[in-house]
Amino acid sequence: MKDQGILLDNLIGSEKLLNGFSHEEIGDDHVYTGLETPMKENAFDLSDEEKKENIAHLFGQIMDVMGLDLNDDSLRGTPQRVAKMYIDEIFSGLNPANKPKIALFDNKYKYNQMLVEKDITFYSNCEHHFVPIIGKAHIAYISSGKVIGLSKLNRIVQYYAKRPQVQERLTNQIAIELQSVLQTEDVAVIIDAKHLCVSSRGVKDDSSATVTAFYGGEFNTPHKIAELQN
């Protein structure tokens, strides 16, 4: 724990972070740094219970530094509640063991047009400020001869949303996973979301939303893109 703390202190206190830029130079801009969620090689050396114990301890320290009284009835269990929420709920998508099991079925109805699942509600968290991203995902695919249950589309969205995220990465991760599962390039994903790091702090713009899109295969044509956007 001591060595990890020293390493963490060095990382947080570093003058130079992404591509040689400092904290001040990066500012509040949300930088999309790649397809894969940034994870340490030893990310799963600790069990979930060990992670909860460590997080509860560290979060209690944060609360203490802020001046909160951890002996108060209302606050006493907060570090444990936060730790459980992080590991079992809102960041559970970091653990590959929680990836949904997807069964593939033959397309017996020979339906060969696009299938669209709209308004899939998801809750994620901005990896820059650890505050919520709330939005809806719209998914379309054209069967290559195989289909999956409709609810599996929701589960894939939720799995990748339940981790610290950047919306561009979330969009691509969902799309690439669906291409792999469905064995087709013909997948489209559109995400429309509100970022609380924009609406509740910083610029405090409550009316704006962010839209990202992935168009693969047959969807990557002006005609199909226009059809989806309408």
197 counts as catalytic:
yes
Structure tokens at 227: 């059809």
Residues shown for the chain: 230
Enter the CATH code of domain 2-98. 1.10.286.10
List pLDDT tens digits, range 89-117. Answer: 999 999 999 999 999 999 999 999 999 99
Interval 148-161: pLDDT, tens? 999 999 999 999 99
Give me the catalytic one of 127, 185, 218, 227.
127
Three state DSSP letters for 3-29 = HHHHHHHHHHCCCCCHHHCCHHHHCCC
3-state DSSP helix/strand/coil % of the chain, to nearest 5: 45, 20, 40
* Contact of 52 with 81, CB cutoff 8 Å: no
Rounded Cα distance, 49 and 51, in Å:
5
Active-site position among 30, 53, 117, 128: 128
Instruction: Name which residue leads in pLDDT, 207 or 34.
Output: 207
Does residue 167 contact residue 154 with C-beta atoms inside 8 Å? no
- For residue 85, what pLDDT is reported? 99
Which letter does DSSP use for residue 119 in this model? E
15 is catalytic: no
CATH architecture of 105-229: 2-Layer Sandwich (3.30)
The amino acid occupying position 226 is: A
pLDDT of residue 54: 99
**Model's pTM, two decimal places?**
0.86
Give the domain ranges of the chain. 2-98, 105-229
What pairs with residue 213 in β-bridges? 190
4 is catalytic: no
Catalytic residue among 129, 185, 218, 227: 129
Known catalytic membership, residue 195: yes
What's residue 6's pLDDT?
Answer: 45
Out of 138, 168, 179, 197, the active site residue is 197
pLDDT at residue 65, rounded to an integer: 98
pLDDT tens for residues 141-151? 999 999 999 99
Residue 128 is among the residues annotated as catalytic for this protein: yes
How would you label 77-88 residue by residue, b for 16+ Cβ within 10 Å and e otherwise? Answer: ebbbebbeebbe
